[in-house]
Chains A and B, each alone.
Chain A
C-alpha cells in the first residue's frame, strides 16, 4: 500500500473507531433538518422553497463539527512530526486527510440528504439536484476546512475560530448548491449552478492542500 493510501486508510479507520465525528455530524444534520419544519410550520410550499438553503447550511455546519480535529489530533500526540518526516509530502498528507474527512463526513451527509428532503416536501427532481449538489460540493467543504484547520492548529481554542475563517470562504458553495436546488424547484435548468459549484470544488480540492501544508509547516516550527 502506498504511503498516501496508508494515511487515508488510517484516518478513515480512526474516524470509524472514534465513532463520534461522523455520527455527530449526521445527528446534527438530521436534527437541524427536523427542527426547521417544526419552526417554520406546515406551509409545504414554503418548506420546499427554503429546503435547499437550509439543508446546505446544515450540511456545512455539520461537516464543520469534525473539521477542527483534521490535523489537531496528530499534532497533539506527536504523529504529525513523524508523518511530516515520511516520504509523503505534506501536500499529499493534507489531500489524504481532506479525502478521509469527506469520505467519513461529507459522503454520509450527502447520502442522508434525500431522506431529510422528504421533511421539506421537496419534489423528486429537486431532491436529485440537492443530492448531486452535495455530492459535488461537500468535497469543497472538507478542502476549504482543511486550510482553516491547519491555520488554527496550535491555537488552544482553534475550533471556535475555525468557522469564522472558513464560513465566508464557503459562501460560493452554499450559493451555487442552494441555487441549483431552487432552479430545479422552479423547473429551470440547474446545470450552470452545478457547473459553477463543481468548478469551485475542483479549485478548492486542487489548491487547498498547498495552503494547508504551508500552514502545517509553520505550526510544526512551534
Chain B
C-alpha cells in the first residue's frame, strides 16, 4: 500500500509545445487532488504522466510505500486505478462479462455486488452496446472498484453522469479516501471532497 505520491518540478513537452513546467505537488493517503485548468492545459497529460504512459521531460514522480520510495513508472503503475476519457468497455460483452474480465485481469475475484453499488444490477446481462453513456460511466466505475488499487487517476469522472451519478462518484471517492486511498482527478467540476487543488 502506498502512502503518498510526490511530484517534483515536472515538465511536460508535447511536440514543440511546453505544456507545463515546474509542477510540484504531494498527495498523501486519504487525500484527493483536483487538477483544474482550461482545455489543453495538460490535465490529461499529467494523469498519463503519473500513470507512466508519458515520460516527463524533466522532474520526478515518487511514490512512497512500505518498501521505501520509488520513482519507477512500472512500479507506480501497479498501484494505479485508471478512469480515462474513454470507458474501456466493449460493446459485444455484457455488463457482467466486462466486470469479470477486468477483475480477473487485475487478479481479483469478480465481486458482483459492485454492480449494485453503481446501480447496474438490473443490466448485468445486457451487452454494453445497449448502455447509455451514463451507464457506461457507471460500469467503468465498477471496473475501477474491482481493480482495488490505492491511487485513482480520474479524468473527468463526472462526464456523462446525471445528478445521481455524480453523487455516486462523490460517495465512491469519499469512501476510497476514507479507506486510505488517494485520488488525482482532472476535472472542470468541483470534486467536493478535494483537499487540494492544482491549477494548470
A residues at B contact (CB < 8 Å): 1, 3, 6-7, 10, 13-14, 17-18, 73, 76-79, 81-88, 217, 220-222
Q: Which of A6, A73, A85, A222 touches B77 (beta carbons < 8 Å)?
A: A85
A-B contact pairs, 21 of them (CB 8 A): A6-B101, A6-B105, A13-B92, A13-B97, A14-B92, A17-B92, A77-B90, A78-B88, A79-B90, A81-B82, A81-B84, A81-B88, A82-B82, A82-B88, A82-B147, A85-B51, A85-B77, A85-B82, A87-B105, A88-B105, A222-B48
Interface size class on chain B is: 20 to 34
Q: Which of B45, B86, B93, B104 touches A14 (beta carbons < 8 Å)?
A: B93
Output the least CB separation between B14 and chain A (Å): 8
List chain B residues, Cβ under 8 A from A88: 105
When C-beta atoms are compared, the residue in chain A nearest to B78 turns out to be A87
Output the least CB separation between B3 and chain A (Å): 20
Output the least CB separation between A76 and chain B (Å): 7
List chain B residues, Cβ under 8 A from A87: 78, 105-107
Q: Which of B55, B87, B105 touches A221 (beta carbons < 8 Å)?
A: B55
Q: A3-B106, A10-B93, A14-B93 are in contact. Are A220 and B86 (CB under 8 A)?
A: no
Are B48 and A7 neighbours in the complex by a CB distance under 8 Å?
Answer: no
Are A82 and B143 neighbours in the complex by a CB distance under 8 Å?
Answer: yes
When C-beta atoms are compared, the residue in chain A nearest to B55 turns out to be A221
List of 7 A-B pairs having minimum Cβ-Cβ separation, nearest first: A78-B86, A78-B88, A17-B92, A6-B104, A220-B53, A79-B88, A221-B54
* A-B pair number, CB within 8 angstroms: 80
When C-beta atoms are compared, the residue in chain B nearest to A86 turns out to be B105
When C-beta atoms are compared, the residue in chain A nearest to B128 turns out to be A77
In the assembled complex, B7 has its CB within 8 A of some CB on chain A: no
Are A84 and B53 neighbours in the complex by a CB distance under 8 Å?
Answer: yes
List chain B residues, Cβ under 8 A from A14: 90, 92-93
Output the least CB separation between A164 and chain B (Å): 25
List chain A residues, Cβ under 8 A from B82: 81-82, 85
* Measured CA separation A73–B88 after assembly (Å): 10
List chain B residues, Cβ under 8 A from A217: 53
* Measured CA separation A222–B86 after assembly (Å): 14
* Known A81-B88, A222-B14, A222-B48; 12 more pairs at CB < 8 Å: A3-B106, A10-B90, A10-B101, A78-B86, A81-B84, A81-B86, A82-B84, A82-B102, A82-B147, A85-B80, A85-B82, A220-B48
List chain A residues, Cβ under 8 A from B53: 81, 84, 217, 220-222
